[in-house]
Chain A
Amino acid sequence: MSGAGVVLIIAVVLIVAALAWYLIWTIVALARITKGLDQTIAAVGEIIEKTAPVGEVVTTINANLDAGVSALEGLLVKKAGMSDAIGLVDGLYPGAGAEGFRDHPGSGATKAPRIAEVYTRGVLTLARLGREAPIAAASPNGPVLRDVSRGAGAALGLYPELRQSHPEKLPRSPVIGTDAPVQYEPSDAPGVRRHMPGAAAVLDPEGRPDADAGTV
């Protein structure tokens, strides 16, 4: 065999080897792709299966909520009148009155009275609390209605200062009952003792039960 033939064979072998090497790794990559696509198809199928009833359920929920909103709006209009109803909505949510009620076409054009100037801010705040759960949410145009993080501290301010300063020892509450260490005589009249401790009980000459002498 001539040298040219040997070189030809070597070249062909090299080409075939390169073809085999690259094609094998391409097959491996394609196999990974196929595996990934299989997993993707399974997950997508699961998504389709889970989302199948969503449309019907959400439509039902919306229909029920629409019915509730229509009923409440109708009741509000019936009881408060269109003008005051629009004014109340506009007082709670400034600008919302212009949208009007869904079941009352043209209600948005109703001139809304300034309910916020008639009712106090507290009334509108209570109304907002009712409409905006959770209760700690901020009102649309004002500060938060209740300090969530310091709610307990705010409630503590309602008590007298003696409790707020956290004294180590407070006077104990008096013991009452038949076995109490200190027994009190029953009074003849409300607020009047028969005998004052260490002194004679003296009824007020005018018979006033809240007189200084002998009153409890």
Chain B
Amino acid sequence: MTLYWIGDAVLLLVVLPVVLYLLHGVLRAARSIVPSVDAISAAARAGARDLDATALLLTTQDQAVRTVAGVADYGGSLDVILDDAEAGS
């Protein structure tokens, strides 16, 4: 009977606190991850929104092609209008 009482005491005074401590640590760690994941999710959504203008790069590409073509036209005209530099200059 004494051994039973000793077992009960160990269970209540040692095992139960250790179990509580370990479980509380696991729960605290899991809860600490939640805000981080929420922040990452918000950042990813904001990043995706910021990239909405990426489609405009196609317009930029087209404009760059047209601009370079226009510059080439002007350059061709200038090449005809202006005399070349003297050799050796």
Contact of A18 among B20, B31, B61 (CB under 8 A): B20
Q: Residues of A contacting B84 with CB < 8 Å?
A: 78-79
Q: Is A72 within 8 A of B75, CB to CB?
A: yes
Across the interface, do B24 and A11 meet the contact criterion of CB distance under 8 Å? no
| Contact status A53-B38, CB under 8 Å | no
Q: In terms of DSSP, what is the predominant structure of the interface of chain A?
A: helix
- Docked complex Cα distance between A46 and B48 (Å): 6
Write the chain B residue with the least CB distance to A30: B30
B30 x A61 contact (CB < 8 A): no
- Mark interface residues in A13-29 (1 if CB within 8 Å of B CB, else 0): 01100110111011001
Residues 53-67 of A contacting B (Cβ, < 8 Å): 53-54, 57-58, 60-61, 64-65, 67
Given A64-B64, A64-B68, are A79 and B23 also a contact pair (CB < 8 Å)? Answer: no
> Helix, strand, loop or mixed for chain B's interface?
helix
Task: Name B48's contact: one of A50, A54, A75, A83 (CB within 8 Å).
Answer: A50
How far is A32 from B65 in the complex, measured between Cα atoms in Å?
49
Please report the number of residue pairs spanning A and B whose Cβ atoms sit closer than 8 angstroms: 145
Interface size, chain B (Cβ < 8 Å): 50
* Contact B68–A67 (Cβ < 8 Å): yes
Question: Does A68 contact B47, Cβ atoms closer than 8 Å?
Answer: no
Query: Which residue of B8, B54, B68, B79 contacts A65 across the interface (Cβ within 8 Å)?
Result: B68
Interface bin, chain A: 35 or more
The docked-state distance in angstroms from the alpha carbon of A80 to that of B15 is 91
- Closest CB pairs A-B (n = 10): A81-B89, A43-B44, A22-B23, A81-B85, A36-B37, A4-B4, A29-B30, A68-B68, A50-B51, A46-B48
Residues on B lying within 8 angstroms of A by beta carbon are 1, 4-5, 7-8, 11-12, 15-16, 19-20, 23-24, 26-27, 30-31, 33-34, 37-38, 40-41, 44-45, 47-48, 51-52, 54-55, 57-58, 60-61, 64-65, 67-68, 71-72, 75, 78-79, 82-86, 89
